């Protein structure tokens, strides 16, 4: 099953390739900022109906050197047969685009990261025909968030780091630092990154911790049930209810004044203001009933 943590762990590379900095640095490549990076279709399905889909595929055209592909796979646990699937992805993409392929596995815990590093071999006897060795991004090589300024300077890396380290005992402290760092953002930017993080933490124990830290309104992930979305929808519902109540109050106010006018009862300005400023529907209903028999405007407020 594809989880939200799984989704954001690879999708963030599509929208924010600067998260690949640790990979580029480890391989001695020019930083992502100096390369043209394009998201390609993740479909690796042949004509025969055996569906295979890579999480994210990026085409990288460095400022120096040859182009290559990055296939990103988010892996939250050890999975039987995944090594064979990864080998297939690499071979298929290599043949389809005629470009070398770097397979990157994103893992949130060290046990999964150790397994994902492979190698995954296709072996007969002592002979290895093919070996697949993913580059693993996990708790050991994704930098921790050490201060609030990192959040302001590198929000994508800070968000990704918080997701990768969400299983550590320091996760609550990390999230607190991220929240404090996001205070320097404008409202739209903070909303965007807060929701990235909440969706990425959806199936983790610290999601509730993060929800306690969120204090904004709006949504970039409709249907995910984030705090932003709940607040936004609750506000809309409340606004509709308030709008309907306000409309009914205005109607009753107009009826009261109309009845008093038709019956020739003078309404001083202060009394008119008192009637029009009232928003309680029960009170307005009482005043309307009394306006039908009142001989003076004061009769409306006889019991007040």
For 163-206, write each residue's pLDDT tens digit: 899 888 888 888 888 888 887 887 778 888 888 888 888 778 88
| The pLDDT of residue 112 is above 90 | yes
Can you tell me the distance from the alpha carbon of 289 to that of 153, in angstroms, rounded to the nearest whole number? 65
How would residue 91 be classed by pLDDT, with cut points 50, 70 and 90?
Answer: very high
Q: What was the pLDDT predicted at 240?
A: 52
- In the chain, domain spans: 1-141, 143-216, 230-301
Model's pTM, two decimal places? Answer: 0.62
Distance between CA atoms of residues 291 and 258, nearest Å: 10
Nearest to 173 by CA among 202, 201, 148, 198: 148
- Name which of 103-107, 169-173, 226-230 the model is least confident about: 226-230
DSSP annotation of 37 reads: E
Nearest one of 174, 171, 178 to 194, comparing CA atoms: 178
Residue found by looking up tokens 């959040």 in the block: 151
């Amino acid at each position: 099953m594809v989880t939200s943590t799984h989704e954001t762990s690879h999708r963030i590379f599509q929208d924010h390739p600067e998260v690949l900095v640790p990979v580029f640095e480890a391989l001695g490549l020019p930083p992502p900022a100096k390369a043209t990076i394009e998201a390609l279709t993740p479909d690796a399905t042949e004509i025969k109906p055996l569906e295979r889909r890579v999480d994210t595929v990026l085409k990288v055209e460095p400022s120096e050197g040859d182009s290559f592909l990055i296939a990103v796979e988010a892996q939250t646990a050890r999975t039987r047969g995944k090594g064979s699937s990864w080998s297939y992805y690499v071979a298929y993409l290599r043949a389809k685009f005629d470009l070398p392929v770097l397979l990157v596995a994103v893992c949130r815990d060290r046990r999964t990261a150790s397994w994902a590093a492979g190698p995954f071999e296709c072996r007969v006897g002592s002979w290895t025909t093919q070996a697949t060795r993913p580059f693993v991004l996990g708790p050991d090589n994704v930098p921790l968030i050490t201060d609030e300024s990192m959040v302001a300077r590198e929000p994508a890396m800070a968000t990704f780091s918080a997701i990768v380290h969400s299983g550590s005992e320091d996760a609550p402290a990390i999230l607190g630092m991220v929240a404090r760092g996001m205070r320097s953002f404008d409202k739209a930017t903070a909303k965007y990154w807060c929701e990235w993080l909440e969706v990425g933490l959806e199936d983790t124990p610290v999601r509730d911790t993060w929800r306690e830290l969120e204090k904004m309104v709006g949504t970039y992930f409709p249907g995910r049930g984030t705090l932003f979305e709940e607040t936004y929808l609750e506000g809309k519902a409340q606004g509709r209810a308030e709008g309907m109540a306000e409309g009914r109050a205005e109607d009753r106010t107009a009826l009261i004044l109309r009845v008093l006018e038709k019956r020739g009862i003078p309404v001083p300005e202060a009394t008119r203001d008192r009637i029009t400023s009232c928003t309680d529907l029960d009170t307005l209903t009482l005043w309307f009933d009394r306006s039908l028999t009142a001989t003076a405007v004061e009769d409306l407020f006889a019991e007040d």
